[in-house]
Amino acid sequence: MILGLPLLLALLTTLPAQAVSPHFIRADATLNANGTLTVAFKEAGLGNNQNITYVLSADATATYVCVNRGGANPSASNKTEVSGPVSATGTFNSGKNGQITASLTVSPPPTSLTCPPGQSLQLAQVTYTNVTLTDTTNGIPAPIEGTFSSGCLLPNVRGAC
C-alpha cells in the first residue's frame, strides 16, 4: 500500500491535464458598416492561463472608387476591383477558467488606386468568402459558413456601384 501511494498521487495530479479538450462553443461573423468583417468567438477546454493564438482568414473582393465633391464617381477609370486573401492574428489568455471570449477583425484588401486632386478614395462594396477562424496553438479550425457581402456602401454616389 505504501508503494502504491506515490503512484496514486501521481495519477491524481495528472488528471486535470487530461481534462483539457479545446473546442469552439461559437464563432459568428458580422459585416460592419465600414466594410470590415469581425468574428466573435468563444473557445473552452483550453486549460488555465494558456496563451492561445488565433488566425482569422478569408478571401475578399473589394471595389474602390474616387468620389468628387459633387458626390459622384466621374469616370470608369476611377474605379477598381481588388481581390485577395486577408487575415488577422491575435493571442489571448484563457485565464483561470480555461476559456477565451474574443474577436478578430479583417479589413478589405488594399488598393493602389490613386484619385485626382479634389476626389477622395472610397470603398464602394466588399465581399468575404471562405471565412475561417483557427486556433493555431491547438490546430482547431472553426469554419464560418456563408458569404458576407456589403452590397453598395455608397448608395448616394452616382456611378459607385
pLDDT per position as a tens digit, 77-123: 788 999 999 999 999 999 999 999 999 999 999 999 999 998 999 99
Mean pLDDT of the chain: 89
Q: Is the pLDDT of residue 9 over 60?
A: no
Q: Is the pLDDT of residue 7 over 60?
A: no
User: Alpha carbon 46 to chain centroid distance?
Assistant: 20
For residue 58, the model assigns a pLDDT of 98
Higher-confidence residue of 146 and 72: namely 146
Q: How far apart are CA 152 and CA 63, in angstroms?
A: 10
For residue 8, the model assigns a pLDDT of 47
For residue 75, the model assigns a pLDDT of 77
Q: Is the pLDDT of residue 6 over 80?
A: no
Q: What percent of the chain has pLDDT over 90?
A: 74
For residue 19, the model assigns a pLDDT of 55
For residue 126, the model assigns a pLDDT of 98
Q: How far apart are CA 66 and CA 75, in angstroms?
A: 9
pLDDT in tens, 14-39: 444 445 899 999 999 999 999 999 99
